Structure 1
Amino acid sequence: MKTDDIEAFVAVIRSGSLNAAALSLGLTQPAITRRLQSLEQDLGVDLLDRHTKPLKPTRLGQEVYGHCRAILREMDALRERVAGDAPPSGLLRLGVPQTLGDALLLEAVKDIRTRYPELRTQVATGWGSVLVNRIEQGELDGALVLFPANKVFPDGVEARPLGAMSLQVVGAHDQVPGRAQRLADIQGQGWVLNPDGCGFRSSLQRTLAEQGQALRINLETYGTELQLGLVADGQGLGLVPAPLLARSAHRDRLAAIPLKDFKPEIQLWLIHPPFLGALQEVVEGFGRGAQGLLEG
């Protein structure tokens, strides 16, 4: 049984296609096919259901996939142990939430490149549940996610809280009332929010539903700064972590709306696989840097 064959099988399951697996490993599709066939011959079983798209493992193939991932982790651990005190090098795969991308990506990546010139950084954005799943699947080395403080993470995902942030409802400065309001009182202005999948939006929608109100969306768009610019222009209300409001270029044209019945809070988490080897210090530094940026 060859390590290359195991690596090819894991890549196919992760990506769901032979083409994508070939691209990720820098191989041709026929080469990936040969490696899969070699592994199946060594084990004497069919690992893939080739009648489905995307490709899915058979029931036994799913079990083999778990063992193969463990083998590759142990191989990585062995390489790191032999490398000793060598500085981190190779590929670092990080994830950040859609909401924090504007605030964190540029400075965080620049800091990593300065501190670890031998590392090549690859960053993905996504909702928290997607990033957690990618950590589980071994597709990311570390990620920042936003979840409630009582979030329970799956086995195989190490999580450390970095701090709580209040979520603030904001509006254009000249349209914000001076006294505390109820959510139903301002609902008529409509909202500028992330598309479906955003935890902030879900929290707001649940609270409104409990009050017999329907969420009224004026604009859906990614990017916190873009949303805040639209809110500042009077296009509706926004919902944003307080540190991002403080850092926004539009902050002088915005104001937080004090609410009596909606005061949500979110926790910033750093998550990663249990074993990272030499990348451990880099991922933890990434978390500290994000924490510092938001606190600042």
Structure 2
Amino acid sequence: MDLAGLRVVKAVAETGSVSRAADSLHCVQSNVTARIKRLEEDLGVDLFHRMSRGMAPTPAGRVLADYADRVLRLVAQARDAVADAAGRGGRLTVGTMESTAAVRLPPILARFHADHPAVELTITPGPTETLLIEVLAGRIDGAFVGGAVNHPDLIASPVFDEELVLVEPATGLSGAAGRHTLIGFGRACAYRGRAEMVMRDAGRVPYRVMEFGSLDAILGCVGAGMGVTVLPRSVVEREPWQHRLSCRTLPDPLARMPTLFVRRTDSVETQSLRAFLATVAADPATQTPTPPTGLKTLAAAC
């Protein structure tokens, strides 16, 4: 059993096919088949069920695929840790919600890059649920997510305290259709769940949902009067949106949502990750709630 064999087991288990596994590993199918057969002979068990259309792991195959995932993740972490310790910078992949990337991260990333130019930093945007899956799978080193997180394999540290607001066009909504249309990300987004709670509590039911994949698309459609959304105040009260959109405050506890930085409990804290978290902690906005501005409350608007 070697790393190449473990990569093959992991690829076949994830793709369910020898051909797709070969494509992902950039090798020929015969190599994949031979590796699987050799492992099965070595371990004395069948690792996969051969079916007419693909392959499915046996119980023993699922166990080995799980170990393969953990071993390969540790090997990748070891490579980065060694590069980090040798002063070659290392690599760091951080996931983030789009709203956090748009408002909170630019000054943090600029400061981190200036202080640690050798670190190869990759930022991966996505909704909260997707980012949690990526962190648990070891595909990213950590992520900024919204809302409470309680998982035995994750460390979750509060970073920002966001005030959520109901966002409408500055010119107002012309009819009931706009008041009963929610514009937002997909269900994997933490703000989407809170937005649906806001619509129900405000009596704006039934409502329809229009899903978009980008923050600017959501804000642009709200500005055009197509509907409403729920986002952090910090996202809306910036150029060019502050003059095109209006915010209505929400009642507690709907208005508050923490942004957490999550990572695996068994992850290696490299110098690069430690330096990044220190840069985040030094930002003036860290753990600083957005002050109220005296705008009308949602109750007054409904």
| Range into which the TM-score falls when normalised by the shorter chain | 0.7 to 0.9
Cα distance in 2 between the residues matched to 1:272 and 1:168: 28
Cα distance in 2 between the residues matched to 1:53 and 1:165: 48
Percent identity between the two aligned chains: 21
Q: What SS is found at the alignment partner of 2:68?
A: helix
Alpha carbons 2:179, 2:204 under 8 Å: kept = no
Cα distance in 1 between the residues matched to 2:30 and 2:123: 29
Partner of 1:51: 51
Q: What SS is found at the alignment partner of 2:261?
A: strand
Cα distance in 1 between the residues matched to 2:24 and 2:105: 23
Which of 141, 145, 164 aligns to 2:161? It is: 164
1:275 paired with 2:267, answer yes
Cα distance in 1 between the residues matched to 2:221 and 2:112: 32
1:69 alignment partner AA: D
Structure 2 gaps of 5+ residues are: 291-302
Partner of 2:150: 152
Task: Please identify which structure carries the higher helix content.
Answer: 1
Following TM superposition, by how much is the alpha carbon of 1:188 offset from its aligned partner in structure 2, in angstroms? 3.3
Structure 1 gaps of 5+ residues are: 177-184
RMSD in angstroms over aligned alpha carbons?
3.9
Taking a change above 3 Å as real, the CA distance of residues 45 and 271 of structure 1, as seen in their structure-2 partners, is same
Taking a change above 3 Å as real, the CA distance of residues 272 and 226 of structure 1, as seen in their structure-2 partners, is same
Cα distance in 1 between the residues matched to 2:169 and 2:227: 8
Partner of 1:182: none
Following TM superposition, by how much is the alpha carbon of 1:256 offset from its aligned partner in structure 2, in angstroms? 0.9
Give runs of aligned pairs for residues 6-85 of structure 1, distance below 5 A: 6-18=6-18, 21-22=21-22, 24-51=24-51, 56-76=56-76, 79=79, 85=85
Taking a change above 3 Å as real, the CA distance of residues 15 and 228 of structure 1, as seen in their structure-2 partners, is same
1:196 paired with 2:187, answer yes
Alpha carbons 1:102, 1:223 under 8 Å: kept = no
Alpha carbons 2:49, 2:55 under 8 Å: kept = yes
Q: What SS is found at the alignment partner of 1:266?
A: strand
Cα distance in 1 between the residues matched to 2:141 and 2:17: 22
Following TM superposition, by how much is the alpha carbon of 1:152 offset from its aligned partner in structure 2, in angstroms? 0.8
Cα distance in 2 between the residues matched to 1:111 and 1:24: 36
Which of 247, 257, 279 aligns to 1:266? It is: 257
Give the alignment's TM-score, normalised by structure 2.
0.74
Following TM superposition, by how much is the alpha carbon of 1:138 offset from its aligned partner in structure 2, in angstroms? 1.9
Give the alignment's TM-score, normalised by structure 1.
0.75
